[in-house]
Structure 1
Amino acid sequence: MQSVQAITRAPSPPTTTLGYALFATRWLQAPLYFGLVAAQGVYVYKFFNELWALIVRCVTGQATETYVMLAVLKLVDVVMIANLLIMVIVGGYETFVSRIGLQGHRDQPEWLSHVNSNVLKVKLATAIVGISSVHLLQMFVDVHHTSRHSLLWGTVIHMAFIVSAAILAYMSGPMAAQAERAHQSSHQPQQSSHQPEQRHAAEDAPPGRAVIPAQREEVPSAEARLRAAGFPARKLLEDFDAEHPRSFDREAVARLGKLDFVVARRNVVFVGPPGTGKTHLAIGLGVRACQAGHRVLFATAGEWAARLAKAQADGRLGEELHRLDVYPLLIVDEVGYLPFDADTSQLFFRLVAHRYERGSLIVTGDRPLERWDEVFGGAAAPAMVDRLAHHAEVVRLEGDSYRMRRASSEWAG
């Protein structure tokens, strides 16, 4: 019966083919963006042509103060229009054609990771206001050669741009908030109205770290999610020194930076010696997840052990595990540095088993999964590893300690 229902619900092949064909037409816009790249080259030529003319007139003594000011404003105008073109080319292509795989690149623009049509429209509107401001300033600098009619209409048009940008920014705020709320609700399990999120809010923070509880009625901002995550420091994937580890899978880290593993409720395991950057990568993924609208909770393995032990002692371990379901991503740092007894190993097994296909885990450790029996006592380690590794991306890092290398270089200096 289930197979019959699945076949009945599946779209017919012609409908699917038509949908894919219509979706593929977005590639018709690709030549348009390459045309804008050619236009960018034209503005580069125009910039250096204007700059050369300014230099020649200044060297020959033919440049007045007004001319220099107008020439500089022209250069600024060209640069601002070129910036506008870059936003349209990169942001438009990313939004309407295809993803640009820059995850993990040091020069990735901050806004590119969460660009959408609303963000792009607001940025374009503010850029146009800036360009209009430069044009209006040129009119006032050369006021003796500008008619009152031109000044009047230039001012009116500039004010129209400002009002339009303000209206667009005001309208995009609720739309962005609604999109983020829908995004969060699609990744968080349903909760009953009589179980508020703020219950035991202080217990959500790792020991010794403060937490700012989020209101259920309001979508917390990215900054609030970052503060509530309990990161010991904020580290970005873009700041990771990719040249330090002797070997690691760069493509895997770039792929993880897209956060598809969070949506798919898969796990990530970073394995390597101390100082190779495991915690940096884990925090970097956590920070990016917070910026993308996911709630994240970070703690070391020892802090998780203390938290779970306290919940068990209070007779609410099951409730605690269910309350952690509101976090699509949990980070367990420094597995392997301290051994755990059989009772604590059972607690970690309960955590991993409860999160299995329900939420994502990022685990960092100094030894591979097949050697976890050296860390976790009792018979819980094999079953825990089986569930953790079933849907997991394992990234191995090899190399010397980054901290020791820096300390040695500073001592040698």
Structure 2
Amino acid sequence: MIVPTVQNSPMPTLGYALFATRWLQAPLYFGLVAAQGVYVYKFFNELWALILRCVSGRATETYVMLAVLKLVDVVMIANLLIMVIVGGYETFVSRIGLQGHRDQPEWLSHVNSNVLKVKLATAIVGISSVHLLQMFVDVHHTSRHALLWGTVIHMAFIFSAAILAYMSGPMARRSEHPPAPRRAEPTTATPAPEPPPAPGPPPAPVPVSAPAPAALPTPFPLPAQRRAEDPEAREAAGAEERMRAAGFPVRKVLEEFDESHPRAFDRDTVARLGKLDFVTARHNAVFVGPPGTGKTHLAVGLGVRACQAGHRVLCATAAAWAARLAEAHAAGRLTEELTALDAYPLLIVDEVGYTPFDPAATALFFQFVAHRYERGSLIVTADRPPARWTEVFSGPSVPAMADRLVHHAEIVRLDADSYRTRHARAAWAD
């Protein structure tokens, strides 16, 4: 099949210039870093004063409580600062590139402008609570006017945070569950007429195998109406329907994976992927290793678990995805096809590296990955890391495609001999 080359329209120069103005915010975040240093100095200054008072015996219980509350207040403000510095810089200025770092914070992958506003409001309420508690602890030295206005301001902070959280809820749900797009009308081809049978002896009769034994009925079968009303049965039926529609080559589950086979295997990362947080966060997973190391098993196992959790999944090889994209492009409905795939939170691309792709197919794959970027999750299995995908894909868009794929991705490397070959050798030895 010949796939026409896809031309990508370049971003206008004015657009590049406007986008480059985001670097004007970089000095602001470094200014917040300096403010973080000021709070570190203030913390140790207060701590040193508390230690001196305690050692000299001049520290009352009220003073110790107030001093500790001040330290807690400083720490909470410093936590808010680091969240705004790291999350805001990552969201609005440039990527920091912490993927794979052992100290990467969990909240960083979920931070966006909406989340930052909610966390900021929550932190302000916490800081206001500490200040109000200080007033109540030192109530004998606090005027009634200050106590009254401190309570009113604190309630205003709580009310504002509640309103902001209420407004953010529908936005988050709308982004997590986009409306299902209208499905494109499938193009059906007219089947070719079957040739007449060639003259000759009649075909031999095909032996009919005995019917498989029927499954044993449950001891107490539920009536059809009751099964329809049973939420567990309805959920199991929905999961089974999603697994049938996913197109898995075989049914695999994560619990059946032989963890003792690979020489190098990141069990913690696979366990974290098994919680499916990466699907709701629209992140990716990439399994890299030689043939027969269990990459497809892990990908299908995650896909099956996603179907059981209520997500729609599609699974196919890289060659099958390329043919699907090429057919949609040839029919002039590539955009509609990519939009229709948004209804699937998880797509699995298996066996990257076994079939080379020409520049036209690579351009289609780039559009596929770029469209899924931060819209939905991808699981990719490959026999080589993305840095070597220039050996499989051809064209100038390969680095950009790999960059978008691994930006929000967990990369799991499996190092082992082929599981199938090992068992074949064992059988031959026997």
* TM-score of Structure 1 vs Structure 2, range by shorter chain: 0.5 to 0.7
Match of 2:23 among 24, 27, 32: 27
CA–CA separation in structure 2 for the residues paired with 1:99 and 1:284 = 31
Partner of 2:37: 41
Kept in 2, the 8 Å contact 1:189–1:326? The answer is no
Secondary structure of the residue that 1:99 maps to in structure 2?
coil
Q: CA, structure 1 residues 232+246, in 2 after alignment: closer, same or farther (shift >3 Å)?
A: closer
Partner of 1:377: none
Partner of 1:164: 160
Kept in 2, the 8 Å contact 1:91–1:112? The answer is yes
CA–CA separation in structure 2 for the residues paired with 1:100 and 1:199 = 42
Partner of 2:415: 398
User: Which of the pair has more CA radius of gyration?
Assistant: 2
Partner of 2:203: none
Match of 1:232 among 233, 239, 254: 254
Task: Give a deviation string over 1:253-275, Cα, whole Å, max 9, x none.
Answer: xxxx999xx99xx996632488x
Please report how far the alpha carbon of residue 361 of structure 1 lies from its aligned counterpart in structure 2 after TM superposition. Answer: 5.8
Partner of 1:315: none
Partner of 2:264: 245
Please report how far the alpha carbon of residue 108 of structure 1 lies from its aligned counterpart in structure 2 after TM superposition. Answer: 2.1
Matched, 1:270 2:288: yes
Equivalent positions of 1:185-264 (< 5 A) are 190=183, 201-204=238-241, 232=254, 245=264
Please report how far the alpha carbon of residue 58 of structure 1 lies from its aligned counterpart in structure 2 after TM superposition. Answer: 0.5
CA–CA separation in structure 2 for the residues paired with 1:284 and 1:127 = 39
The one-letter code sitting in structure 2 at the alignment partner of 1:64 is T
The one-letter code sitting in structure 2 at the alignment partner of 1:23 is F
Partner of 2:51: 55
Task: Give a deviation string over 1:112-135, Cα, whole Å, max 9, x none.
Answer: 213211111000000000000000
Partner of 2:335: none
The one-letter code sitting in structure 2 at the alignment partner of 1:245 is A
Partner of 1:78: 74
CA–CA separation in structure 1 for the residues paired with 2:285 and 2:157 = 48
CA–CA separation in structure 2 for the residues paired with 1:294 and 1:24 = 37
Please report how far the alpha carbon of residue 94 of structure 1 lies from its aligned counterpart in structure 2 after TM superposition. Answer: 1.4
Kept in 1, the 8 Å contact 2:66–2:137? The answer is yes
Secondary structure of the residue that 2:26 maps to in structure 1?
helix
Kept in 2, the 8 Å contact 1:36–1:85? The answer is yes
The one-letter code sitting in structure 2 at the alignment partner of 1:22 is L
Task: Give a deviation string over 1:153-172, Cα, whole Å, max 9, x none.
Answer: 00000000000000000001
Q: CA, structure 1 residues 286+267, in 2 after alignment: closer, same or farther (shift >3 Å)?
A: same
- Number of residues paired by the alignment? 277
Partner of 1:103: 99
Task: Give a deviation string over 1:350-377, Cα, whole Å, max 9, x none.
Answer: xxxxxx967966347xxx69xxxxxxxx
Partner of 1:66: 62
Please report how far the alpha carbon of residue 176 of structure 1 lies from its aligned counterpart in structure 2 after TM superposition. Answer: 1.9
Kept in 2, the 8 Å contact 1:245–1:399? The answer is yes
Matched, 1:129 2:151: no
**Coordinate RMSD, CA, aligned:** 5.3
Partner of 1:330: 348
Please report how far the alpha carbon of residue 47 of structure 1 lies from its aligned counterpart in structure 2 after TM superposition. Answer: 0.6
Match of 1:118 among 114, 117, 124: 114
CA–CA separation in structure 2 for the residues paired with 1:20 and 1:323 = 29
Flag the structure with more relative contact order, 1 or 2, with Cα contacts below 8 A and sequence separation at least 6. Answer: 2
Secondary structure of the residue that 1:98 maps to in structure 2?
coil
Please report how far the alpha carbon of residue 232 of structure 1 lies from its aligned counterpart in structure 2 after TM superposition. Answer: 2.8
Percent same amino acid among aligned pairs? 68
Runs of 4+ with deviation above 6 angstroms:
283-287, 322-325, 390-396
Please report how far the alpha carbon of residue 85 of structure 1 lies from its aligned counterpart in structure 2 after TM superposition. Answer: 0.4
Kept in 1, the 8 Å contact 2:76–2:123? The answer is yes
Which structure 1 residue ranges, 5 or more long, are not aligned? 1-5, 193-197, 214-228, 248-256, 300-321, 334-355, 370-384, 402-413
Please report how far the alpha carbon of residue 95 of structure 1 lies from its aligned counterpart in structure 2 after TM superposition. Answer: 1.4
CA–CA separation in structure 2 for the residues paired with 1:170 and 1:324 = 26
Secondary structure of the residue that 1:104 maps to in structure 2?
coil
CA–CA separation in structure 2 for the residues paired with 1:329 and 1:103 = 21
Q: CA, structure 1 residues 283+168, in 2 after alignment: closer, same or farther (shift >3 Å)?
A: farther
**TM-score, normalised by the number of residues in structure 1:** 0.53
The one-letter code sitting in structure 1 at the alignment partner of 2:34 is A
